Amino acid sequence: MLQDETVDSGETGASVTVGRLLRPAPWPALVAVAGLLCAQVVAAALWRGVGMDNTFVLRAARAVLDGESPYADRRFLYLPGAVVAALPQTLLPAAALAYVVPALGLGLVLLGWWAALRLFSVPPRSHYALVGVALAVLAFAPLANLVVIGNWTAMSAAALPCALLRAHRGRWIAAAAVIGLAITVKPMLVPVWLLFVLAKQWRALAVAVLLPAGLSLGMALLVPHPGYFFTRTLPFLLHGQDSFALLWDASLVAVLPRLGVPQTLATAVAVAVAVLGLWCARRRWRGDDAPAGSPEAALRLTETAVMVMLAAFLVSRPSFDHYLLVVLPLLLASGVLRSSAPRSPWFWIALLPQATGFHWPYADAPATRRAFRDAASLVVLAVTVMRRCAVGERRTLDEESGVPRTVPVTGRTPL
């Protein structure tokens, strides 16, 4: 049975309010949230069909079936694994794809949310879980954007929490396999390799590196002219794509020059901030040797991985608003612990620019200024997590000094 009491004995416990949110939600709430999810899928299907970004991948898969190279289209920016993953879509009519694509994107994000909840022993049917879903659907613009355009970032949004859940259970090889498979489709999670380095999980690191390398090489043999990836696609990516993508790019390398900062200085600032973020991630990992399987261990794992990803988003090009969905489910799920980032008001301030239904003067008109709002969210969120990582050692010091701490009592053990 789920218990609502908390052990009021220190720094990292759930408050009474959070304890109440951990209670099972009634079935009308489940029905209401399910209705919201269905409405979002239908709205996306009726607005733009299969979505702009998914169309590029689908077009690449059809090009392969026609004996052409998928990389002839410079808008196809994924590894060969994405072509193979998109082949089933070629069998479906456009009317079916209009609903299947947004449903899959939303389903993958929900899978990531489920895994993040399990990482912190939060019941998936709790009020806490359902409130998170409802707020995301009703008020979080990047989720609607991802579902509408059919971007494959949803794969990474599902893979990272699932991998951390495996790692928290001590199954690092399985975690590496999840990361490797996600990289095979879209190499967004490459920075997570650093987590395996910090944890000194060398065999897992080998799996995370060699699995996508081997699968990509094998699948490249099935693609006509795979060399185009290196001669056309890779240079296009390294230059931050083109002027169209630049207008929506929230990385510091792209945003600062639009504010009048010289490109060289902007790059230096972005690299310096990213390096600081990586230092904070290293400090967080080494600063709190929490017992395996404990909530503190889950928090340490989460904050380290999230900090690595945020550091990459700050400096890599491009960096779009829906990239936040890779890290936010993990951070929100960690909110059941008092020492987590969501307990800081700055975490919620960082999300304000992403609220739907609100007009931001000078940042919404023209629409191409949206990148400034996204950059503000990214920077404030990164600084908030940096602070959490920098003070992470205090929890260990509290243990050594004998000061009691709080742990949530939910009647469950971390998975």
Per-residue confidence (pLDDT) for residue 49, from 0 to 100: 57
Per-residue confidence (pLDDT) for residue 74, from 0 to 100: 76
Task: Encode the chain in three state secondary structure.
Answer: CCCCCEECCCCCCCCHHHHHHCCECCHHHHHHHHHHHHHHHHHHHHHHCCCHHHHHHHHHHHHHHCCCCHHHCCCCCCCHHHHHHHHHHHHCCHHHHHHHHHHHHHHHHHHHHHHHHHHCCCCCCEHHHHHHHHHHHHHEHHHHHHHHHCCCHHHHHHHHHHHHHHHHCCCHHHHHHHHHHHHHHCHHHHHHHHHHHHCCCHHHHHHHHHHHHHHHHHHHCCCCCCCHHHHHHHHHHHCCCCHHHHCCCCCHHHHHHHCCCCHHHHHHHHHHHHHHHHHHHHHHHHHCCCCCCCHHHHHHHHHHHHHHHHHHHHHCCCCCHHHHHHCHHHHHHHHHCCCCHHHCHHHHHHHHHHECCCCCCCCCCCHHHHHHHHHHHHHHHHHHHHHHHHCCHHHHHHHHHCCCCCEECCCCCCC
Query: pLDDT tens digits for 295-341?
Result: 899 999 999 999 999 999 999 888 899 999 999 999 999 999 988 99
Query: pLDDT tens digits for 130-177?
Result: 999 999 999 999 999 999 999 999 999 999 999 999 999 999 999 999
Place of tokens 């994000």: 109
Distance CA 305, CA 194 (A): 8
Instruction: Report, as an integer, the average pLDDT of 33-50.
Output: 87
Residue 412 in this model has a pLDDT that exceeds 80: no
Angle at 131 between CA 3 and CA 388, to 5 degrees: 80
Per-residue confidence (pLDDT) for residue 115, from 0 to 100: 97
Take residue 56 and report the two structure tokens written for it.
């590029």
Whole-prediction pTM: 0.88
The answer to whether the CB of 54 falls within 8 A of the CB of 145 is no
Residue 242 in this model has a pLDDT that exceeds 70: no
Q: Which of 59-63, 76-80, 114-118 is most confident? A: 114-118
Query: pLDDT tens digits for 73-111?
Result: 877 888 889 999 999 999 999 889 999 999 999 999 999
Residues 6+ apart with CB under 8 A from 384: 341, 344, 346, 347, 350
Instruction: Report, as an integer, the average pLDDT of 367-388.
Output: 90
Q: Please say whether the dihedral angle defined by the alpha carbons of residues 158, 160, 162 and 163, taken in this order, is positive or negative.
A: positive
Phi, psi of 407 (to 5 degrees): -130, 140
Per-residue confidence (pLDDT) for residue 202, from 0 to 100: 96
Take residue 318 and report the two structure tokens written for it.
């491009």
Lowest pLDDT segment from 125-139, 208-222, 269-283, 388-402: 388-402
Question: Which of residues 348 and 288 earns the better pLDDT score?
Answer: 348
In 3D space, the residue among 303, 252, 308, 301 whose CA is nearest the CA of residue 275 turns out to be 308
398 bridge partner residues: none
Per-residue confidence (pLDDT) for residue 413, from 0 to 100: 38
